[in-house]
Amino acid sequence: MNKYLSISEEVQNALNNNKPVVALESTIISHGMPYPQNVETALRVEQTIRENGATPATIAIIGGKLKAGCTPEEIEYLGKKGQDVIKASRRDLPVLIARKEDGATTVTTTMIIAAMAGIRVFATGGIGGVHRGAETTMDISADLEELAQTPVMVVCAGAKSILDLGLTLEYLETKGVPVIGYGTKELPAFYTRHSGFGVDYRIDTPEELAQAFNAKLQMGLKGGMLVTNPIPEEYSMPAEIINKAIDQAVEEANRLGIRGKQSTPFLLAKIKDITGGDSLAANIQLVLNNARLAAKTAAAITHLDK
């Protein structure tokens, strides 16, 4: 066992008994939403996973420990501390551990800790990717590199629509990451179901997702699998409205010189303000939708192991 890893008793019991477990990130708690919606949403997502037959494992770094499974009190702590918690990517782990500090895990670090714990499925909102203007800024999320090397299935609503979706897909192709559309051949774009870009394969059931991921693992192929699950139709935002808000937010970020790990929290907060909170409501619904699919897929994977 990794001496820095702390697995909750609930999660460890599920893993020991080949029960389905779904990892959840903590950046969405500390950096993705305001308090108290962040805590309410995190607990609601955990409950949704339980209702769909799996055990939730919210992942974070608390006091220098890699936590796979947070208590409600720890989730409350992360939510109240908010953006004072360091947004932790792969590069941050050694120093945070050595200093015994807190960290909110991104897609990257959630994948790392989930893999350490033996958790194979992870539900999130949207992954990071290639930012607009990356041909000059080189602003590319570490999430893409992690997907290329860490064996965890990531269930999301596509790449965040603040990104350059075409370049993000090209990068994933170069790294050999399968991009699956759940019930669709089109890449969903986080707040909206449509992007105009295609995915590698359409898969329509959790059982087939499980079979594809299991085959990848059995072949010893490096890296994870990206499952893009469109936001439910009733919560999808019109593309023209969200794109206008994104363009406005990106323009302001450029004017203020906001770069790197601060970009995504700034843009999401700005888009929420521009849309009068509609984007936050959509964000919550797409995370719940991904949690349901991830739980059913994790259950299907455990059945293959029996």
Q: What is the pLDDT of residues 177-232, one digit of tens each?
A: 999 999 999 999 888 898 889 999 999 999 999 999 999 999 999 999 999 999 99
Confidence at 129, pLDDT banded by 50, 70, 90: confident
Domain 5-305 indexed as CATH 3.10.105.10: no
Q: Is the pLDDT of residue 94 over 60?
A: yes
Q: Largest alpha-carbon pair distance within the chain?
A: 56
- As beta bridge partners, residue 163 has 131
| Residue 277 scores a pLDDT above 80 | no
DSSP 55: E
Exposed e or buried b per residue across 20-39, where buried means at least 16 C-beta atoms within 10 angstroms of its C-beta: bbbbbbbbbbbbbbeeebbb
The tens digit of pLDDT for each residue in 137-192 reads 788 889 999 999 999 999 999 987 778 899 999 999 999 999 999 999 999 988 88
On average, the pLDDT of the chain sits at 92
Which two structure tokens, joined as six digits, stand for 22? Answer: 């779904």
102 secondary structure, DSSP code: -
Alpha helices by DSSP H, listed for 68-149, are 72-81, 93-99, 107-117, 134-137, 142-149
Contact 151, 118 (CB under 8 A): no
Whole-model pTM above 0.75?
yes
Q: Is the peptide bond before 94 cis (omega within 30 degrees of 0)?
A: no
pLDDT > 70: percent of the chain: 96
Helix, strand, coil shares, percent, the chain, to 5: 55, 15, 30
Q: Are β-strands 55-62 and 103-105 bridged in parallel, bridged antiparallel, or unpaired?
A: antiparallel
Residues serving a catalytic function are 25, 160
pLDDT at position 260? 65
Q: Assess contact for 29 and 104: CB atoms under 8 A.
A: yes
- The tokens describing 171, both together, are 């990068």
What is the Cα–Cα distance from 237 to 246, expressed in whole angstroms?
A: 12
| Domain coordinates in residue numbering, the chain | 5-305
Tell whether the model's pLDDT for residue 276 goes beyond 70. no
